[in-house]
Structure formats: structure tokens, C-alpha cells
């Protein structure tokens, strides 16, 4: 699955007031892993910043004066996001601005004509109702390093959001098993394979070392911290209690 984590910086808070995009930052994920491909452009908005916006981004009209306009990078940007699932924090904000930029061009349509969108703000609100779910708050809650985020920058924020998204959506579905060839198999696939009596008969016996057991315990603790609970960990605790009771 191809995903693109996206962020924008703008001259103000409302695209309906004529504010423009001044930076686009994108990070590509393939099967939830960064590929190293990014897209980042500063843009000349051809207008002034609203009060406060310039301080947030650290950008200025002077710095952006020789940068391309959105029209000059639109096709390259659209090609980068084509067919991907976009990961955006507060998607309505960024999509509103990007669609407003596209509306100024002929025949470009809207972002959702080309992509689907996952809004991490909505995901966070479902998981942490009643709590602060800004990007900085999620970084602190999920243990994501955002120490470089002194100012808002689209590419930096997209890189941070990629880490937040992976942490926010990881859980027991992330557990994988490796076969003798080293290729990874998901837990679901492993369960399906295990249903075969012939395969089960050929399955090698593996002895668990103390190091393996410690790594297993650390992984379960991480899953419990990120997801709020870990059924495997709870099952092991119940089994341990039963052994103690029987002893």
C-alpha cells in the first residue's frame, strides 16, 4: 500500500479569505515504511502573510520572492500523490487550501479525485477522546521526537507526522513472524499456515533463550503502551497466575 504523509504551510488560516500555500511537504510510505522519497517546495504566494502566520513558519515575502508559484509545481505535485492514500493531520485545512490552489488552474480537479485521505486528527480523537490531539501533544504521548520542531515547516512536520501515524496505528496487527528464508509472514497468515497438519508436522522446534523472552516482554509492553492494552500480555499474566495458584 502506498501512502503519502502531507503537510502545508500557508499565509493565513482561511483559504476563503484568499490566503495561499507557501510550502508543501510530502513523505512517501510503502507498506507503512518510509521509502526515502519526499516532495518539498516553497511557493511564492503573491500576497502578504496574515498577522502571526509569518512568525509560525519563519518564512517571509522576501525569502519566497524568487520561488515558483503553485501553478509551476502543480503537475509535479499531483504526480507525486497520484493514487496514494494521503495521511494528513486536520485534513480539512490542507485539502481546502490545495483545492483552492487547484481551482485557480484549468482542468486539475480536486485532490480527492486522485487520492483517498486518512485524517490523523480524527484517528487521535477516537483513540484519545477529550484530550489534546495536536501534533506536538501526540508526539509527547507517543514518544515521537519533535525536538527539531522550533518552527512549523511542511516537510519536517510531514516527517514527524509519519512517525506519529505509525505509532498511532500500530498494535498487535504489526506482529510478524519470519520463516527459515527470513521472509516476514503476518500473524493472520501464520495462523492460516498453522492449520495445515502437514506443515505442522514439519514445523521446527525452537527453544526460547532468556534474551528472546526479554525481547518478547519488551515488545508486549510497547504494544500495551501504544494500544492501551495487549491481549497476549494479559493472557500470559492469567496463565502465570494459574501456574502460581496450582503450585
Active site residues: 152
Would you call 85 exposed, middle or buried from its count of C-beta atoms within 10 A (0-12, 13-18, 19+)? Answer: middle
**Cα–Cα distance measured from residue 120 to residue 84, given in angstroms and rounded to the nearest whole number:** 16
Q: 148 is written with which cell numbers?
A: 527539531
Amino acid at each position: 500500500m502506498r501512502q503519502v504523509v502531507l503537510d502545508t504551510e500557508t499565509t493565513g488560516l482561511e483559504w476563503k479569505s484568499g490566503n495561499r500555500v507557501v510550502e508543501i511537504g510530502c513523505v512517501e510510505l510503502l507498506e507503512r515504511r518510509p521509502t526515502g522519497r519526499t516532495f518539498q517546495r516553497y511557493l511564492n504566494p503573491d500576497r502578504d502573510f496574515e498577522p502571526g502566520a509569518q512568525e509560525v513558519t519563519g518564512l517571509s515575502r522576501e525569502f519566497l520572492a524568487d520561488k515558483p508559484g503553485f501553478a509551476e509545481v502543480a503537475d509535479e505535485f499531483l504526480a507525486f500523490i497520484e493514487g496514494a492514500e494521503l495521511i494528513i493531520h486536520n485534513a480539512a485545512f490542507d485539502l481546502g487550501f490545495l483545492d483552492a490552489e487547484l481551482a485557480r488552474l484549468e482542468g486539475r480537479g480536486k485532490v480527492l479525485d486522485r487520492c483517498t485521505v486518512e485524517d490523523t486528527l480524527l484517528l487521535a480523537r477516537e483513540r484519545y477522546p477529550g484530550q489534546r490531539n495536536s501534533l506536538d501533544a501526540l508526539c509527547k504521548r507517543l514518544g515521537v521526537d519533535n525536538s527539531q520542531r522550533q518552527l512549523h515547516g511542511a516537510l519536517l512536520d510531514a516527517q514527524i507526522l509519519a512517525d506519529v501515524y505509525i505509532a498511532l496505528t500500530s498494535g498487535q496487527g504489526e506482529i510478524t513472524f519470519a520463516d527459515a528464508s527470513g521472509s516476514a509472514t503476518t500473524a493472520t497468515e501464520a495462523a492460516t499456515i498453522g492449520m495445515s497438519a502437514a506443515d505442522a508436522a514439519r514445523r521446527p522446534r525452537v527453544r526460547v533463550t532468556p534474551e528472546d523472552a526479554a525481547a518478547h516482554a519488551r515488545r508486549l509492553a510497547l504494544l500495551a503502551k501504544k494500544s492501551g492494552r495487549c491481549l497476549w500480555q494479559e493472557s500470559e499474566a492469567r496463565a502465570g497466575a494459574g501456574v502460581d495458584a496450582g503450585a
